[in-house]
Structure 1
């Protein structure tokens, strides 16, 4: 029951604060009005011998903002509420008592205005409150003027401290939102690169098998060879679909499966599948592939995958050599092939994906022509304890 009431009050206050352009939490106006109401109730209780119309007038003036909110759901402007509270306190101080709780709402008012309104208005309201106390001390003999003045000044300081806290909190929330958005963008870009590499490589290999099947049927009429090539194309396609599902599954909260992502251990199979599809590809390994961490291994695998896809696309009749050398402090992957007609092999999202992966791994990447060859050379730093 209490939770529902609290949520309703908080929601209504938040709506009113938003309409008024006030950024403080909902409990700030609720707390200040509660303290002001307590002080007013005690002050009126100290003056039960005074005329009832005077006490009612003081109550309406000092709680006019709360009454306006209860009736309309709107928050009174700070300057209007300040004038009403100053007038109400002035009415009560015309009948001083010892000790007097009537100045208490002035301290609360000073704190509230300095927290939600402009600094200029806060200083004006504080000065006006001290002025009301000074007039009461000089005319009707208010006792404790220095103490009440100190309370009003402390309210001013407390309000400015709350203002600073709210601004710092808003800045921190904005920073966290920016970091969250940046992390989400980086994750989307990473998954986009994964899908691109998978699709580019699998389509390249599939096309090689389809081309082989077509060539076998056209030249040799070898149905068995064509069926075998098409079956291999189907296998590659199904494997690519499974890997795409697993990669895209990272976007959801549900588990995408327990199968691990590829790494340096799988580069040999990658080259073998490419060679089986018809590309003249060879693989050379030096060192222990298990010494490469999973993140670095995935990056090297994807770069090799993209490189071979480019060879299939731009120079399918040439020989591709893939060399992986793992030694103390670094793993170096080199993919080299003869350029076909001097054309550029990599560009667009493929080259950009390689560069992005290398940057994430802190690797050195070199892509481009080297004499008659096209070269992809990437060196990934490894922990010093890795020994070839």
Structure 2
């Protein structure tokens, strides 16, 4: 019914119409032999329908439906065709209070009071007979007003909650985009340092080759080969750099960043702050491109930092770095309980967002999640660029 409110309103209108028609048929049968029916069918049925049909459209056109019911209800009550005009008017008052506002509802209630105050004395002779209908009408209208106030307040509260939830979702998405942008800017600055360092080495080697080209040709040849190797590596890093959104603040010293050679120092530092780490390196990872080495270092650093913060006391971690062919696989696991715990001593980035962005920069992938037997696992695969 909530998804299709007109269906429920149609059933309500149908019940009121059937109720009035049954009253009319009963009266006709009772007076069939004594006198002609008090009203013919072609008068009674349109009036009954005119009272109840607006109920179907009360949510879509509340004001029009309310006053249609009110004015058609005048002949309906005068001909004593049933109680559907009273019930329909009360439902319309509730609708105006809940869906439109207090001012239109107050005007409608006053119109009902005026019509009832004029019509009821005309229909009843004695004072006692007039008082009861007036009291019943006043009580029903008051009850419907109170019900409309309650439902209207709940609808307003629900609308406010939905609006706040929508704003929170927008804010969450905005924060996520900001985190991604900040991490990409950080990665871009680090790659900038790698490329700048390579260019500095090239300049030094080129100057040395220029001085030794005539007196020491072998030394000059080695310098040129070094320039070629470092230049190729710098081009690879530069291509990656162009794919990263970089902030305008490109600070940083022209020195190489940590790489796979620094993983042992990282493991020692993590052990010093309370997390036993076993480091396993399979294959030769010392000659990796500087950018790839930096990415490996940062992913391992971030994963161990998360273990320090969330795994709890007594946790052990295993870091496995394996180079196979043209890729490097990372596997960082811990056996923690994922409880709230925070230690200081290892710097980190933006959690899973940062690790995933670092893997994507090099065309790789990263998965993170709980282990079936307990603990947490981070797995990354970084392809190596070939020239």
- TM-score, with normalisation over the residues of structure 2? 0.51
Rate the CA distance shift 1:101–1:59 in 2: closer, same or farther, 3 A: closer
Alignment partners' CA distance in 2, 1:283 and 1:160: 65
Q: CA RMSD in A?
A: 4.5
Rate the CA distance shift 1:188–1:236 in 2: closer, same or farther, 3 A: same
Q: What residue in structure 1 maps to residue 89 of structure 2?
A: 106
Q: What residue in structure 2 maps to residue 120 of structure 1?
A: 103
Q: What residue in structure 2 maps to residue 173 of structure 1?
A: 162
How far residue 33 of structure 1 moved from its aligned partner, in angstroms, is 5.3
Q: What residue in structure 2 maps to residue 263 of structure 1?
A: none
Q: What residue in structure 1 maps to residue 229 of structure 2?
A: 228
2:70 to 81, 86, 99: 86
187-196 vs 141-150, greater mean Cα deviation: 141-150
Alignment partners' CA distance in 2, 1:181 and 1:165: 24
Contact 1:96 1:140 in 2 (8 A): no
Answering whether residue 185 of structure 2 is matched by residue 196 of structure 1, we say yes
Answering whether residue 310 of structure 2 is matched by residue 297 of structure 1, we say no
Alignment partners' CA distance in 2, 1:274 and 1:231: 21
How far residue 150 of structure 1 moved from its aligned partner, in angstroms, is 2.5
Alignment partners' CA distance in 1, 2:118 and 2:303: 75
Alignment partners' CA distance in 1, 2:169 and 2:8: 33
Alignment partners' CA distance in 1, 2:69 and 2:270: 82
Q: What residue in structure 2 maps to residue 304 of structure 1?
A: none
How far residue 52 of structure 1 moved from its aligned partner, in angstroms, is 2.6
Q: What residue in structure 2 maps to residue 215 of structure 1?
A: 204
Alignment partners' CA distance in 1, 2:55 and 2:236: 73
Q: Write out aligned runs for 1:1-388 (5 A).
A: 27-28=4-5, 31-32=8-9, 34-48=11-25, 49=28, 50-59=39-48, 61-63=50-52, 65=54, 75-76=60-61, 78=63, 80-96=64-80, 100-141=83-124, 145=133, 146-220=135-209, 221=220, 222-233=223-234, 236=237, 270-272=257-259, 286=269, 288=271, 291=274, 294=302, 297=305, 330-332=343-345
Rate the CA distance shift 1:29–1:211 in 2: closer, same or farther, 3 A: same
Alignment partners' CA distance in 2, 1:329 and 1:156: 56
Corresponding residue SS for 1:46:
helix
Deviations 1:6-46 (A, max 9, x none): 9xxxxxxxxxxxxxxxxxx7755654454244213322331
Alignment partners' CA distance in 2, 1:290 and 1:234: 38
Rate the CA distance shift 1:29–1:163 in 2: closer, same or farther, 3 A: farther
How far residue 190 of structure 1 moved from its aligned partner, in angstroms, is 0.4
Unaligned runs of 5+ in 2: 29-38, 210-219, 246-255, 276-300, 309-340, 351-387
Rate the CA distance shift 1:100–1:56 in 2: closer, same or farther, 3 A: closer
User: Highest CA radius of gyration, 1 or 2?
Assistant: 2
Alignment partners' CA distance in 2, 1:184 and 1:149: 52
How far residue 239 of structure 1 moved from its aligned partner, in angstroms, is 7.8
